[in-house]
Amino acid sequence: MKDAVAALFEKALDQLVEEGIIQVTDRKPVKIENTRDPAHGDLATNIAMLHAKSAQMAARAIAELIIDKLPPSEMIRHAEIAGPGFINLYLAQKITFEPVISCLKHNKKYGNHGGTNERIQIEYVSANPTGPLHVGHGRGAAYGATLVNLLNARGHDVEAEYYVNDAGRQMDILAVSVFLRYLENAGQCISFPTAGYRGDYITDLGNRLLQNSSISPQITFNELLQNVIADTEETKDAHIDGLIKNTKHCLGEEWRQPFNLALAAILSDIKSDLSEFGATFDQWFSEKSLVESGEVDAVIATLEDRGHLYEKAGALWFKSTNFGDDKDRVIRKDNGETTYFTSDIAYIANKLTRGFNRIIYIWGSDHHGYIVRIKAAAQALGFNPERLTIRLVQFANLYKDGERLQMSTRSGSFVTLRALRAEIGRDACRYFYVMRKADQHLDFDLSLATSQSKDNPVYYVQYAHARICRVFESIDETPFDQTRGINHLTDLTTQEELDLATTIGLFPEVVKRAADGLEAHLVCYYLQDLAADFHRWYNGNRLLVETLEVRDARLALAKAVQIVIRNGLALLGVSAPRSM
């Protein structure tokens, strides 16, 4: 509708250009916006104000000329000038209800946009497979999964990916932690390292290793401590690294047993957890595959050929300061091992050669300093860094009985995402995680998330859907006739009904803005406004009146609200219950 109205104004500008009032070189495109207050009309434009200076006329005077030049249209009932030169438009009543008709026609597809032929990859969560997902990971999972839905609705070709960090030091720490619990379960007395992974799941994995492995029982904890520095707060990293080195030496090829068992078990749990949460992935990409395929060595060679590497103190450095980074980065240490960053460079090279127009990363806010260096790597490899979009997500803070719960995977003291779902339900989790801007802090109030009140936003929206379902279930002898309802929508004349129709019409635009801006919270805001409009109308009007034409018109409007709420909640990964 906005495009059609904008076209009318463009024709008016055509005439002003022909008459020499506006110069072609000064012409600005017409933008039509919704008014914030129905008292000021349905739509508005500032096009007159945009041309006032170049035309050397008062904006209100140009506005009068534009209105006078507007072609006749059944869409616009009235146009008036407001303030310094805004043009407010009042739509014809039948036009106001066109979104309702469109919604009823397209049903589950209402809000979707046509194909864009743009291929987008979005990588999210990608938590290290070193323990169960905790509530901090949940926000990135909810945000990423919602963006996938929004981008698909926007008409893009979207692929979701999880990057599995199955190589590197953290995985070695996990493996040695499991092996030490294995020794403990076998009856040995051990001193568990401060930097090791703790928690019942590590003990369980150690017991599983004991039951299923073929590791030699002769290995002792004392052997692993040989020449290892004492474990203190200052030396804990060096201590665990010494344990890893000795364990690898003692186990030889059998080192892969605790490593692979822990990786397989935890990754399987993560996949199951995310699936139950409604976050699914087209590909689970292995970091280890980058090493085994030679892609890590290949990017090092490419950077060296391009003159972006140098050696210092036995290490190999990337000249990332040439691309805006605050310091150069090591990509191969003096012991010959490559760094995490090197794998990330190989990964971005792999992504950028897969044919995606745009690549979206969803990272935790603690990765803020990583943005410049990953874009620097892409540019150094010869790719356009503008193809990369990186969004940071603040971790959610969970409060229970007024106390903030800790979420450290290493210490084993954390609240899992699975436990949170069990306590408040998947719907509340998915909704609460995305109802604020992703880069804003979020305090998770468990009491609010489980309350059945209008203060609980997900309950408030779902209750509107359930109310409408109950209305339709209450229809007695004469069934609802949607065609009759559509034909009599213009019989609905209250401001609440006009507001509802207007709000329904905003849904496709909200989907577009939320997808284009990667702002999932806009859908929450919109649904809460729509639910408020509906509850206000429902509380002040009887839907099932005796006059069938009015009854079915109101039911058609209610059904459109129901469809939009269901479609909007589906984008958020939230259910639309028929009863509550």
Domain ranges within the chain, ordered by starting residue: 2-91, 169-265, 453-572
pLDDT of residue 407: 53
pLDDT of residue 94: 83
Structure token pair of residue 24: 């072609």
- Per-residue pLDDT reduced to its tens digit, 288-301: 999 999 999 999 99
| pLDDT reading at 309 higher than 80 | yes
| pLDDT reading at 65 higher than 90 | yes
Note whether 324 and 331 are within 8 A (CB). Answer: no
pLDDT grade, residue 103 (50/70/90)? very high
Find the mean pLDDT for residues 228-247.
96
Q: Which CATH class is domain 2-91?
A: alpha beta
pLDDT grade, residue 327 (50/70/90)? very high
- Per-residue pLDDT reduced to its tens digit, 478-531: 999 999 999 999 999 998 999 999 999 999 999 999 999 999 999 999 999 999
Q: Which of 30-44, 284-298, 304-318, 395-409 has the lowest mean pLDDT?
A: 395-409
In this prediction the pTM is 0.90
> What one-character DSSP code corresponds to residue 72?
P
The β-bridge relationship of strands 33-34 and 43-45 is antiparallel
pLDDT grade, residue 377 (50/70/90)? very high
Note whether 580 and 565 are within 8 A (CB). Answer: no
Per cent of the chain over pLDDT 90 is: 84
pLDDT of residue 405: 65
pLDDT of residue 465: 98
Mean pLDDT, the chain, whole residue set: 93
pLDDT of residue 408: 53
Q: Which of 125-129, 215-219, 412-416, 435-439 has the lowest mean pLDDT?
A: 412-416
CATH dotted code for 453-572:
1.10.730.10
Q: Which of 314-318, 406-410, 522-526, 555-559 has the lowest mean pLDDT?
A: 406-410
Provide the b/e sequence for 551-580 (b: ≥16 CB within 10 Å): bbbbbbbbbbbbbbbbbbbebbbbbbeeee
Angstrom distances, CA of residue 475 to CA of 81, 374, 546, 570: 46, 60, 11, 27
pLDDT of residue 403: 72
pLDDT of residue 411: 52
Helix (H) or strand (E) holding 516: helix 495-517
pLDDT of residue 402: 74
pLDDT of residue 447: 85
Find the mean pLDDT for residues 128-140.
92
Q: Distance between alpha carbon 395 and the CA centroid of its chain, in Å?
A: 13
Instruction: Give backbone dihedrals phi and psi of 413, rounded to 5 degrees, phi first.
Output: -100, 95
- Per-residue pLDDT reduced to its tens digit, 27-39: 999 999 988 887 8
pLDDT of residue 414: 64
pLDDT of residue 401: 73
| pLDDT reading at 404 higher than 90 | no
pLDDT of residue 332: 96
